Chain A
């Protein structure tokens, strides 16, 4: 038997062990294995293949399509996340008021969040259909020429961004709303008496006080957006001519269409490092 003092010191770690074991088996081991795969030439089903060093990475970096996909992913993330967050904050500010029937609006805005992505994608495909979709119908009734949404390369990624924003904005809004409602009212009252007008109050008091909420949403949104796959797979399969191809879909294509497992592993690992790095920067900037 261990002496009681050692027992007491060891107990917290003991409690952490099961979780760590599960994480190790299903997260850290796969990551290590992924790293190993990216350094070898694995073939489907059987062996990990011979060690080939960094040649998968070299091939990847020499491939212009990889850089294009990387750029498109970054564009998708850094367009959809700020737009969705700004919209979410705006809506949350509107809904953070003692109005009648407010819960109805909350439910309305939250509906896209609880809809399955497949359903949202099907709906979006129908709405943004270039042949008589309802969005074009409205544009036409406003006298605007119809837009070849998902058909033309230059429109496809913005359309995807639009749909992602629409899907996510309700989720971010609910979190912002919770953040707003937990703000100390007296502090905002004090700012009013101190002479700060609404816009001033928003930028000098509300926004800084919401920083923990903003940080949380940023992290969740960045991770979620970097991993965008379902919309691409369901709506465009990366097309037209790779205009909506993003890192996860690119990894999927390499791994499961071209059976280049080493390549897919290298792409995944690069993305992992990228997300980690960006989150580090965000944490540094927002979580002081």
Chain B
């Protein structure tokens, strides 16, 4: 078996009586782009800082290529970190920002220079080498911060929400760039974010973290398609997951899930459903099928608000006090639409246990 590039074995961290991280077990393969996704305060930045050596580990051990890291000072871990607010040395030029770490790690002037020029060319920042950080735009600063990490050719990159201070347009561009760079350089990367889009687009594999515990680990689309519990489903839904109480009926070998907004039918009853008669039903806004052409007497929902997002429109509708957010292609929405009907077939339905929120089934309704 190959040795994982980075391994967390029972890692825990507390501040006083507050547990920040509880028994973190995780293996990241060599060259993998691994994303830790979670809301603020879930402990994800603590994981990065402990890996970097900026914070001590209270319990367990972190291994870098099978070498335990506890007791190794940050400067000897051969890890480079990209910070949320770039953390460039403001009093140094871009060139010296990149040279600083190289020189500290014992590279000679000539070698450092060659590496800086090469990295600058890779990132297209050669014209900026003599500038100082305050003369650069946010996107340029982030690129320099990346360069400072890349130039050292470390065993591991840590990235702490590196895109969150950028404008939306720049962000998408830098995101693509980060992914391409990582592919090209093949350096193991642990990337932390609270942005599900970043996680889905960047990760080879991802872990969802909440309240110091890992909720689910896997390739992004697997996690998206089959969230392990209510929390993961909610966190990977924009703008929000619609949750309803549902009751289960079994008819002719099929299963009917009744909710406030409609009844969904699964032809092959999922085995994990067991003998449950009551569940929580989760429907993502983009996974609900609707129709605006309503027949007389057909059950429908009153539209409270339409929020155009460009190609999609968010419809906020309600029935019997239950709110539903649905994402609809803009050209499917008629002018002055007042009501819509949920089409029972073709919706993606996630079922969760009513008590502990653990997923019991995911299916497309028929």
Q: In the complex, which residue of chain B has the Cβ closest to the Cβ of A196?
A: B104
Flag B181-215 by CB within 8 Å of A: 1 or 0 each: 00000000000000000000000000000000000
Q: 8 Å CB contacts to B: which residues of A145-196?
A: 184, 186-187, 189-196
Across-interface contacts of A186 in B (CB, < 8 A): 83-85, 87
Q: Is the interface of A mostly helix, strand, loop or mixed?
A: helix
User: Given A186-B84, A186-B85, A204-B100, A193 and B75 touching (CB < 8 A)?
Assistant: yes
Tell whether B294 is near chain A: CB-to-CB under 8 Å.
no
Across-interface contacts of A200 in B (CB, < 8 A): 104
Tell whether B131 is near chain A: CB-to-CB under 8 Å.
no
User: B143 to chain A: closest CB distance in Å?
Assistant: 15
Across-interface contacts of B76 in A (CB, < 8 A): 195
Stretch from B3-11, B25-33, B88-96 at the A interface: B88-96
Looking at the complex, which one of A195, A204, A209 makes contact with B105 (CB distance below 8 Å)? A195
**CA of A21 to CA of B78, assembled, Å:** 63
Docked-complex contact A189 and B89, CB < 8 angstroms: no
User: A113 to chain B: closest CB distance in Å?
Assistant: 30
Docked-complex contact A194 and B87, CB < 8 angstroms: no
Tell whether A197 is near chain B: CB-to-CB under 8 Å.
yes
**CA of A256 to CA of B80, assembled, Å:** 68
**CA of A200 to CA of B101, assembled, Å:** 12
Docked-complex contact B87 and A187, CB < 8 angstroms: yes
User: Given A192-B54, A193-B81, A187 and B104 touching (CB < 8 A)?
Assistant: no
User: Given A189-B81, A190-B81, A209 and B87 touching (CB < 8 A)?
Assistant: no
Tell whether A277 is near chain B: CB-to-CB under 8 Å.
no
User: Given A186-B85, A187-B87, A187-B88, A194 and B54 touching (CB < 8 A)?
Assistant: no
Q: In the complex, which residue of chain A has the Cβ closest to the Cβ of B74?
A: A192
Flag A206-217 by CB within 8 Å of B: 1 or 0 each: 001101000000
Tell whether B79 is near chain A: CB-to-CB under 8 Å.
yes
Tell whether A205 is near chain B: CB-to-CB under 8 Å.
yes
Across-interface contacts of B83 in A (CB, < 8 A): 186, 189-190
Docked-complex contact A193 and B84, CB < 8 angstroms: no
Across-interface contacts of B77 in A (CB, < 8 A): 193
Tell whether B52 is near chain A: CB-to-CB under 8 Å.
yes
User: A212 to chain B: closest CB distance in Å?
Assistant: 11
User: Given A200-B104, A204-B100, A192 and B87 touching (CB < 8 A)?
Assistant: no
Q: In the complex, which residue of chain A has the Cβ closest to the Cβ of B91?
A: A208
Across-interface contacts of A205 in B (CB, < 8 A): 89
**CA of A196 to CA of B100, assembled, Å:** 9
Flag B138-154 by CB within 8 Å of A: 1 or 0 each: 00000000001000100
User: B242 to chain A: closest CB distance in Å?
Assistant: 39
Looking at the complex, which one of A184, A189, A208, A209 makes contact with B54 (CB distance below 8 Å)? A189
User: Given A195-B101, A195-B104, A190 and B75 touching (CB < 8 A)?
Assistant: no
Q: 8 Å CB contacts to A: which residues of B85-122?
A: 85, 87-91, 100-101, 104-105
Name which of B53, B79, B104, B105 has the most chain A CB atoms within 10 A of its CB.
B104
Across-interface contacts of B79 in A (CB, < 8 A): 193
Q: In the complex, which residue of chain B has the Cβ closest to the Cβ of A195?
A: B104
Docked-complex contact B74 and A193, CB < 8 angstroms: yes
**CA of A192 to CA of B87, assembled, Å:** 12
Across-interface contacts of A184 in B (CB, < 8 A): 85, 87
Docked-complex contact B101 and A194, CB < 8 angstroms: yes
**CA of A209 to CA of B91, assembled, Å:** 7
Interface residues of chain B, those whose CB is within 8 Å of chain A, are: 49, 52-54, 73-77, 79-81, 83-85, 87-91, 100-101, 104-105, 148, 152
Known: A184-B85, A186-B84, A191-B89. 13 other contacts (CB 8 A): A187-B90, A189-B74, A189-B87, A190-B87, A190-B89, A191-B100, A192-B53, A192-B74, A193-B101, A194-B100, A194-B105, A195-B76, A204-B100
Offer 5 A-B interface pairs, CB within 8 angstroms, sorted by A: A190-B89, A191-B100, A192-B54, A194-B105, A211-B91
Ranked 6 nearest A-B pairs via Cβ: A195-B104, A194-B101, A186-B87, A195-B75, A190-B87, A208-B91
